[in-house]
Chain A
Amino acid sequence: MNARKRAWLAALALALGLAVLPFALDGLLGPYWVRVLDFALLYAMLALGLNIVVGYAGLLDLGYIAFYGVGAYLYALLASPQFGIHWPFWAVLPLGAALAALFGILLGTPTLRLRGDYLAIVTLGFGEIIRIFLNNLDAPVNITNGPQGITAIDAVHLGSFSLGRRQEILGVNVPSTVLYYYLFLLCMLAVVFVSLRLENSRIGRAWVAIREDEVAAEAMGIPTRNVKLLAFAMGASFGGLAGGLFASFQGFVSPESFNLMESIMILCMIVLGGMGNIPGVILGAVLLTALPEALRYVGDWQRHLLGRVVVDPADLRMLLFGLALVLMMLFRPAGLWPSRRRQREFAATGEVAEQEQASLFDARR
């Protein structure tokens, strides 16, 4: 069997595995985990979007969740009884991505002169400003319905076929969460495809050049300002798309879903998985989405080990999550699945006498 054939077979096996995954999870762990899987895919899209900004272009963004919020609220406003507008998803989703990209440029234009941690705090402030506006735009004109959020958002549907309820397909009874899984999977594959193509494009190489040494990149004729803006816009558009999907899936959005902790969590996903490496980023997203859910079983473990529940598992969940973050980082500081380029860099840091520029990526002197 030649290598080409083997690659095709591997791809086929992966496709089959992904296709039956929700049914397997439903059977093994229960329907709740299909929901978790859907969220893992959403977070993977978000993480891939942030990966463009942080991983490729090396710009630390702590307000990324704002773009998710923009996409989600746009979907909520244009497809719910809030204003009585019910546009179809194929119109609203691209619109959300475009609006998020516009917000990305809006944020980027005045702030791209800033470096490193100054950029981080400004993006953080931007994220908080968006959240506070979502929270307070119920007066004097009610737009976002304030802290209560917007409810009864339309599910994704084509004609009478809605993903929001059970459907009979070829004699198989498919629940809504599984239907959404296939939609999210498709969208995520599209995002992965775009990321892959970008990575090895002229633009992708320009991003990496800026990350490694901005002055040298500019000297090579890269229009750094526009290329950085493009990174913000691309990353934001992925966030906007994921936000629209989230709103339709959840049927409900409120400002609470778009707080700073979410931005930080997405950053954790890409750093933990392996910045700049697409499979690593997806792994990080899936792991960090599943981990807090898996930690719900801590109560059962306590009963098995100690005979009774000593500490309420809900209280212990985040504690263990924090501990896991610390430990994983201590043992794999370059992430669980770093890109090959970074692995080499990492192995070489002992020998490199002088580094060119302290970027987010470099190991420090």
Chain B
Amino acid sequence: MDILAQQIFNGLVLGSIYAVVALGYTMVYGILELINFAHGEITMMGAMVAISVIGMGLAAGLPALPLILLAMLAAIAVCMCLGLAIERFAYRPLRHAPRLAPLITAIGMSILLQNIAMLIWGKQYIPFPPVFPQGEHRLLGAHVTDVQLIILATTLLLMLALTLLVQRTPLGRAMRAIAQSQPVAQLMGVNVNRVVAATFAIGSALAAVAGVLVAANYGQAHYYMGFLLGLKAFSAAVLGGIGNIAGAMLGGLLLGLIESLGAGYIGPLTHGFLGSNYQDVFAFFVLILVLVFRPSGLLGERVVERA
């Protein structure tokens, strides 16, 4: 019972991070129909910048709480600039090109960012300084750290804020309008370039926060960490129905739970034939299974075939 509670809790923490990163994928996809492969690397950049700022702040003797906020803000600022620059220089010129062309520039950008990070921060794992509270609790039989509680609270808050932004503000309405039909939105006076740029900025800011939280949770960061995280988050977005904001959140949480429960129970279920190293197989298998039965994801709208 304790193991079950523990795995569910770990899955929720992991899943909430996937959800926040998946939001960035799904927003961009909803508007531009582009898989922004560089999004995972933005997450990594957020973690790296935060670690550097915290390192400098600790050397200057700053107290923990303002330091965390400062690091978050720095990470968000850098990632927003990166996201805006990538959109402006790598994607916007190709907005009317064949669909796979921006996919290739996205891959190029991803490789580029990884290697820039490697040049700046080196190839080794970088420890995340223990500035977050390090307390541990027992909750319903599960072993819970302060950092995990902070992650859950922050990600929930972010998801709530984003939902409000998309549903209740003029910017959100413009985003939804462009997602439905770019030419019509343009005719109604929506400045497409500005809204797309805003989308990238918001998605990158979310990625920055997610990056800092992931690094804090595992206590380390690495220039390659964004690749797998981005892949999982993208899978989560597709699982929920890509382009759908609630779907990204649901998909993220589900994927986290599947992975965590899969890793915990795959051994006993198969009588030791498959071990926890098949965790990813389990996640992808469920993803494929869901898509076979619901080809547009869990919450995705059914694509109406044109007559």
Contact of B284 among A129, A322, A361 (CB under 8 A): A129
- Alpha-carbon distance between A346 and B96 when the two chains are bound, in angstroms: 10
CA distance A311 to B116 in the complex (A): 12
Given contacts A322-B115, A330-B93, A358-B99, contact A271 B281 (CB under 8 A): no
Binds A, one of B105-113, B154-162, B167-175, B193-201: B105-113
**A23 contacts chain B at the CB level, 8 A cutoff:** no
How far, in whole Å, are A60 and B100 apart by their CA atoms in the complex?
9
Tell whether, in the assembled complex, residue A326 and residue B119 are in contact, meaning their CB atoms are under 8 Å apart.
no
Residues of B close to A132: CB separation below 8 A: 277-278, 280-281
CB-based contact B110/A322 at 8 Å: yes
CA distance A89 to B272 in the complex (A): 37
Chain A at the B interface: mostly helix, strand, loop or mixed?
Answer: helix
Given contacts A358-B99, A365-B183, contact A115 B112 (CB under 8 A): no
Q: B269 to chain A: closest CB distance in Å? A: 15
Please report which residues of chain B, range 214-256, place their CB below 8 angstroms from some CB of chain A when the two chains form the complex. Answer: 231, 234-235, 238, 242
| Contact B291 A118, beta carbon cutoff 8 Å | yes
Given known contacts A114-B291, A118-B297, A357-B306, A318 and B115 CB-to-CB distance under 8 angstroms: yes
Interface pair A122/B291, CB less than 8 Å apart: yes
Q: Is the CB of A113 within 8 A of B101?
A: no
Distance, CA A271 to CA B93, complexed state (A) = 17
Cβ contact within 8 Å between A360 and B284: no
Interface residue tally on B, bucketed by range: 35 or more
Contact A363 B96 (CB under 8 A): yes
Chain A nearest Cβ from B276, distance in angstroms: 10
- Candidates B104, B235, B295, B305; contact of A272 at CB < 8 Å: B104
Interface residues of B: mostly helix, strand, loop or mixed? helix
* B52 on the A face (CB < 8 A): no
CA distance A267 to B106 in the complex (A): 13
C-alpha spacing A220/B16, complex, angstroms = 47
Assembly CA distance A275 to B98 (angstroms): 10
Is A260 among interface residues, defined by CB-CB distance under 8 A? yes
Q: Given the complex, which residues of B lie within 8 Å of A60, measured CB to CB?
A: 100
> Complex Cα distance A311/B119, Å?
9
- Measured CB to CB, the residues of A under 8 A from B are 54, 60, 110-111, 113-115, 117-118, 120-122, 124-126, 128-129, 132-133, 135-136, 139-140, 215, 260, 264, 267-268, 271-272, 275, 311, 315-316, 318-319, 321-326, 329-330, 333-334, 346, 349, 357-365
Q: Can you list 26 pairs linking A and B with CB atoms under 8 Å apart? A: A110-B288, A111-B291, A113-B295, A121-B291, A122-B287, A125-B287, A128-B284, A129-B280, A132-B280, A139-B275, A271-B101, A272-B104, A311-B119, A315-B118, A319-B115, A322-B109, A322-B114, A325-B107, A329-B104, A329-B105, A330-B90, A361-B98, A362-B99, A363-B98, A364-B95, A364-B97
Q: Please report B residues at the A interface, Cβ cutoff 8 Å.
A: 29, 33, 35, 90, 93-105, 107-116, 118-119, 182-183, 231, 234-235, 238, 242, 272-273, 275, 277-278, 280-281, 284-285, 287-288, 291-292, 295-297, 303, 305-307
